[in-house]
Amino acid sequence: MKMKKMLSAVLASALVIGSVNPCFASATQQKIDEAQKQKQEMESSISEAQDKIDALESKKGQSESYLEDLNGQLEELKNSLQKLQDEYDDKQAELGQVQKELEEAKASEAQQYNDMKIRIQYMYENSSTSYVEMFLSADSISEFLSRAVNIAQLSEYDRELLEEYQETREQIAEKEKQVIQEKEEIQELQIQSQDKQAEVSELIEATYNEIRSYQDSISQAQSEQADLLAEVSAQEEEINSLIRQAKEEEIAAQKAEEEAQRQREEAEAAQNQQNSSSGTGGSTAQTPAQDETQDSTGDSGNSSQGKYLGKFRLTSYCACSICCGSWSGGPTASGTVPTAGRTVAMGGVPFGTKLLINGHIYIVEDRGTAYGHVDIFSNSHSEALAFGSKYADVYLVE
């Protein structure tokens, strides 16, 4: 609503310019054409600047998306590294426990081995007397054999227990070796994860710098575009001023022609009166032409209706997106709420200017059309379409 599309303004300007009579304002028309050409060139530059901004915004968006992915990867790597650290700590604790168990197994094996050696040594050193004593002390042969079996079983038990201790020690040693290997593998994964984190961090830094570069380029392009828009706005003011000048020249030319026509009619009436006086004895009655000339006020000057501005093109618009684009539903360029029967859009005059059109007073509260083209606000798009395009005399209400 604040400003209709620039193309609409250009077309509107062209239509208003075309309504100016070239016979009255050929020099002014040439200036308008030149200004319009310059304005169109600047608008083309604005369009190119916008395309550049859009392309930069697209690249910036892609980089921001990539940066988001990288941050996600970095977060996953940090979590993975923390998990590896936890596993490493667990393996370290497990290794400590295994080493403790291994030491205990070695100690048990050594103790059992020493005990067995002592018993075997004792049995061999005292085998003769021991068996004689055992035989003599036994009450029966079965008791003797039972004692002998017990000695054999004890030796077998010692051997089995020693083998079990040795097997346990070997298993623990194997487990120690496995835990150490797993620990080394975890350390290798930690190194790889740290290297990957460093790589991703470098990519994040490079992408961030790339985004910052895009943003700087966007800001520069937006600044250039803003300067061009300011130049276009100034050019529009100049065009509106020239159109207004052309309209005033047209009105002045019409007024001069009407004045010349009136003088011709007065001279003709005076001549007719003189001729009539010579033939009728001096009658001084006014002719109908004189009465019509004296009573006519016309539209070429100031009247009770206000200052005559000219015959302007009239159209209508509403607050929809078709008419107002991205400004649909918002306030007018002057900040007021658009109201049917009051609000009109036209360039070249200050906001608040009152225009009398077909007996109704409107207030210029919006922009979007050039001077000489009045866009009247309607409540709906169907009403705006039904209004169509027409021409009417427009007066400035002081």
Burial of 58 (C-beta count, 10 Å sphere; 0-12/13-18/19+):
exposed
Measure the CA–CA gap between 138 and 26, rounded to whole angstroms. Answer: 153
Instruction: Convert the pLDDT of each residue in 316-355 to its tens digit.
Output: 999 999 998 888 889 999 999 999 999 999 988 999 999 9
Measure the CA–CA gap between 262 and 254, rounded to whole angstroms. Answer: 12
SS3 at position 361: strand
Question: H-helix or E-strand containing 304?
Answer: none
Instruction: Convert the pLDDT of each residue in 196-230 to its tens digit.
Output: 889 989 999 999 899 999 999 999 989 988 888 88
Measure the CA–CA gap between 375 and 365, rounded to whole angstroms. Answer: 11
Q: Are 179 and 91 in contact (CB under 8 A)?
A: yes
Which of 39-43, 167-171, 365-369 is predicted most confidently?
365-369
Q: Work out the number of other CB atoms within 10 angstroms of the CB of residue 227.
A: 14
| Of 265, 283, 281, 260, nearest in space to 273 by CA | 283
Given the DSSP bridges, would you call strands 360-366 and 343-345 parallel, antiparallel or unpaired?
A: parallel
- Sign, CA dihedral 313-318-320-324, equals positive
Measure the CA–CA gap between 376 and 340, rounded to whole angstroms. Answer: 8
Every domain of the chain and the residues it spans: 65-217
Measure the CA–CA gap between 223 and 56, rounded to whole angstroms. Answer: 14
With left for phi above 0 and alpha for psi between -120 and 50, is residue 396 left, alpha or beta? Answer: beta
Domain formed by 65-217, architecture: Orthogonal Bundle (1.10)
Q: What is the pLDDT of residue 119?
A: 66
Q: What is the pLDDT of residue 148?
A: 62
Q: What percent of the chain has pLDDT over 90?
A: 25
C-alpha pair distances (Å), 165 with each of 98, 110, 156, 160, 266 = 15, 9, 14, 9, 145
Q: Which residues contact 23 (CB under 8 A, 6 or more apart)?
A: 253
Q: What is the pLDDT of residue 14?
A: 43
Instruction: Convert the pLDDT of each residue in 234-288 to its tens digit.
Output: 888 888 888 888 888 888 888 888 889 999 988 888 888 888 776 554 444 444 4
Residue 20 predicted with pLDDT over 60 = no
Give φ, ψ of 313 to 5 degrees. -80, 135
Burial of 56 (C-beta count, 10 Å sphere; 0-12/13-18/19+):
buried
Given the DSSP bridges, would you call strands 390-397 and 360-366 parallel, antiparallel or unpaired?
A: unpaired
C-alpha pair distances (Å), 179 with each of 97, 193, 195 = 11, 21, 24
pLDDT band, residue 114 (cuts 50/70/90): confident
Which of 55-69, 82-96, 295-309 is predicted most confidently?
55-69
pLDDT band, residue 133 (cuts 50/70/90): low
Measure the CA–CA gap between 118 and 134, rounded to whole angstroms. Answer: 19
Q: What is the pLDDT of residue 192?
A: 87
